[in-house]
Structure 1
């Protein structure tokens, strides 16, 4: 009888340890999933994620595509944000420069960060950004107005993709969100009191 209760106790401890390890593993996967998904999207262009590039190739003669520009702001961001032009026709492979305008309509400095997407999704891996305001946070003073550039090109490899080569229009869409500085200041205050 005593041997049975000892073996049951061991089995219960083993099951408890396995359950605890599984819970820890699930928490780890949950925290790692966002950065891993972002990395996957950047590498593959999945979900319309654009690619970063250093330099544009020469344009492909006689091949062009229409690029439409879209802009949005989160409800908590007091900015007016819009593209300078709503659409342009660009040569495939040629470097292009487009501008968005942002105006802080509040009486305080506000920092925002932009997320972006390209549609249709199949075009994401061929939409190459060289420089973009979306790579860093943007701070606008009260009433400040700025022109925000994005330098890009459409990779000529789009012409070799049986699905993507049929695309005649690509939409580049940005949404600006406010950056929550209160979380950072709370963290900084805790760090300085410990140090």
Structure 2
């Protein structure tokens, strides 16, 4: 925001004061709130999919130069960005989803999840799956990683080093 290049931010809620509230579009009154009775895992998955669909729709307007998003929240918006040629930054607060291990495309527990009977099968569609996150990694132009260890887990998983951008979280020691 301070650099003058933030056009719009899409979020669940706005808990900060540095960026003017008018820059935010919130999911405050979105129909996904009707699912708040669900357990946390399914409700959060539903919220992530709702935010992602809204972001993809906004990107389709063609008025954006960059998509900066978080892992687990952005498969549809990354697909839209790829289709439109909009570069993307994927911010990941932890290691690669496979945690530095080589895994099959689908693990036994994921196969069981996908084969669950009704109504569990409907609920499971609300989850953000490992396969969706893997596609996010593949579609992102650049992935922000927070440590050398995190970077290593992405390299083990086969992502090219030039796609990984090491960064770190900082604290304003004068403020805290």
Q: Which structure has the highest strand share of the two?
A: 1
Flag the structure with larger Rg: 1
Pick the TM interval, shorter chain: under 0.3
TM-score, scaled to structure 2: 0.24
Give the TM-score of the pair, scaled to structure 1. Answer: 0.22
Say which structure, 1 or 2, has more relative contact order (CA 8 Å, 6+ apart).
Answer: 1
